[in-house]
């Protein structure tokens, strides 16, 4: 039996589907140039694609046809040589709403394998976001803003070819830079893209992530019932009614906190989260009324606290809030937990004020979605500058 190579591309459903498809297809074509058969495919079955939901594409390559057939028989690889992450917020873990809990981003990365992440962040930040792994692995960063190239628009910022150039450096046994550039010239007919792959190849470096590094928390998980444990007939238990909230300072009960599905969580969809200035809130109720996922809890003092396990980061609350900077969407990489902001404010208002000021002052640009026609086109020159100059 020969050598089997496996690569997974983790992306955000719809937003980055074209990007993931371009990368997985080019991997196989580059390998073909060196006489290696391969196949690329998307993850279907119990993983529906919706806006922002973590999704996967795979590329499987082998040194011979028999080995490829053996790899294809498993459908999805149980471990991969390279995990490609085209949005750094996915480093916190992924949950497609059908994987039975939160999956660490490095779960399939084999010992000594490589995690390639598109990000402006440094290695320390990305390592702290990813869950710990029992064996060492490598981390490589492709500098750049996450490329949200969706079905309706393709932001041609060279993210795809720069990732391919990085792959040629970190796993030369799979394919060479020359093969990648051949594919780029044939598929994209763009010499600048071939140069971008070369620049990425030249700059690519890795750091070793040890088992003692990363997020030590145990990822959220749950077990589906066995068929022997299921009740007769088809019945879906209703979510219980909500309840009042307790003020952490006074113990006063009041407001309203809806019960939420204990297994259906949406926070891995989020690339941004709302931060709330409770001191300027006028209690207009618009965020609570307009939130499409009923994220806001009504507190005993009549304020509105966003439940971060239910929030998908759509930004509607920021858009409808009539008070300037009362609700501000901030990049998800700036946060390490899903704790209640209202409780933080109640327990230390001055400390919360400083925390809020820091988050808003240092917030990166909006991570996805366009607010006016032509916004993506305006961003492309900056992306290409990063591709050329690093």
* Tokens standing for residue 105: 């981003």
Query: Which element (helix H / strand E) includes 101?
Result: none
Angstrom distance (rounded) from CA 5 to CA 361: 44
Does the pTM surpass 0.85? The reply is yes
What pLDDT was estimated at residue 385? 76
Q: What fold is seen in the domain 236-361?
A: Alpha-Beta Plaits (3.30.70)
Q: Cβ atoms within 10 A of the Cβ of 15, count?
A: 27
Q: What are phi and psi of 77, to 5 degrees?
A: -65, 145
What pLDDT was estimated at residue 45? 47
* Tokens standing for residue 342: 């209202």
Q: Cβ atoms within 10 A of the Cβ of 76, count?
A: 15
Q: Do domains 4-216 and 236-361 have the same CATH topology?
A: no
What pLDDT was estimated at residue 182? 97
Angstrom distance (rounded) from CA 96 to CA 52: 10
Partners of 115 in the beta sheet? 83, 139
List of E strands, 226-292? 243-246, 253-257, 272-276
Do residues 72 and 35 lie in contact, with contact meaning Cβ atoms separated by under 8 Å? Answer: no
Q: Please report, for the chain, the start and end positions of each structural domain, with discontinuous segments joined by +.
A: 4-216, 236-361
Query: Which element (helix H / strand E) includes 327?
Result: strand 327-331
* Tokens standing for residue 258: 């809806």
Partners of 114 in the beta sheet? 82, 138
pLDDT tens for the 390 residues of the chain, in order: 799 999 999 998 888 888 999 999 999 999 999 999 999 998 754 455 677 888 899 999 999 999 999 888 887 888 999 999 999 999 999 987 666 789 999 999 999 999 999 998 999 999 999 999 999 999 999 988 777 776 656 677 889 999 999 999 999 999 999 999 999 999 999 999 999 999 999 999 999 999 999 999 999 888 877 888 877 777 777 778 899 999 998 899 999 999 888 877 888 888 999 999 999 999 999 999 999 989 999 999 999 999 999 998 988 999 999 999 999 999 998 899 999 999 999 999 999 999 999 998 867 666 555 566 676 677 777 777 776 676
Partners of 7 in the beta sheet? 59, 82
DSSP string, 75-87: SS-SSEEEEEESS
* Tokens standing for residue 53: 């939901």
Angstrom distance (rounded) from CA 41 to CA 56: 9
State the architecture of 4-216 in CATH terms: 3-Layer(aba) Sandwich (3.40)
Could you tell me which of 132, 114, 39 has the C-alpha nearest to residue 77?
A: 39
């Amino acid at each position: 039996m020969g050598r089997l190579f496996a690569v997974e591309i983790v992306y955000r459903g719809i937003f980055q589907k074209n990007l993931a498809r371009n990368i997985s297809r080019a991997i196989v074509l580059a390998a073909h140039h060196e006489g290696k058969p391969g196949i690329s495919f998307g993850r279907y079955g119990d993983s529906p694609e919706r806006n922002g939901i973590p999704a996967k594409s795979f590329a499987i390559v082998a040194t011979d046809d028999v080995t490829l057939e053996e790899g294809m028989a498993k459908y999805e690889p149980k471990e991969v040589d390279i995990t490609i992450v085209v949005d750094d917020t996915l480093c916190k873990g992924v949950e497609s709403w059908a994987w039975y809990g939160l999956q660490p981003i490095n779960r399939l990365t084999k010992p000594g394998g490589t995690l390639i992440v598109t990000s402006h962040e440094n290695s320390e930040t990305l390592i702290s976001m990813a869950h710990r792994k029992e064996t060492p692995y490598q981390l490589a960063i492709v500098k750049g803003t996450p490329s949200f190239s969706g079905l309706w628009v393709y932001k041609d910022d060279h993210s795809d070819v720069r990732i391919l150039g990085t792959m040629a450096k970190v796993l030369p046994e799979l394919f060479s830079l020359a093969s990648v550039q051949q594919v780029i010239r044939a598929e994209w007919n763009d010499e600048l893209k071939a140069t971008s792959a070369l620049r990425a190849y030249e700059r690519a470096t890795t750091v070793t992530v040890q088992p003692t590094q990363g997020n030590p928390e145990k990822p959220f998980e749950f077990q589906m019932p066995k068929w022997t444990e299921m009740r007769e007939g088809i019945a879906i238990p209703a979510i219980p009614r909500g309840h009042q909230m307790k003020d952490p300072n006074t113990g006063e009960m009041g407001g309203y906190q809806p019960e939420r599905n204990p297994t259906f969580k949406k926070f891995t969809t989020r690339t941004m989260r709302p931060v709330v200035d409770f001191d300027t809130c006028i209690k207009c109720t618009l965020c609570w009324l307009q939130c499409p996922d009923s994220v806001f809890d009504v507190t005993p003092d009549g304020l509105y606290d966003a439940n971060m396990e239910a929030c998908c980061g759509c930004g509607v609350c920021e858009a409808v809030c009539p008070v300037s900077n009362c609700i501000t969407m901030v990049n998800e990489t700036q946060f390490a937990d899903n704790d209640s902001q209202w409780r933080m404010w109640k327990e230390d208002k001055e400390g919360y004020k400083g925390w809020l000021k820091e988050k808003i002052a240092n917030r990166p640009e909006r991570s996805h979605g366009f607010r006016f026609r032509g916004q993506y086109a305006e961003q492309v020159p900056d992306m290409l500058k990063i591709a050329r100059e690093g």
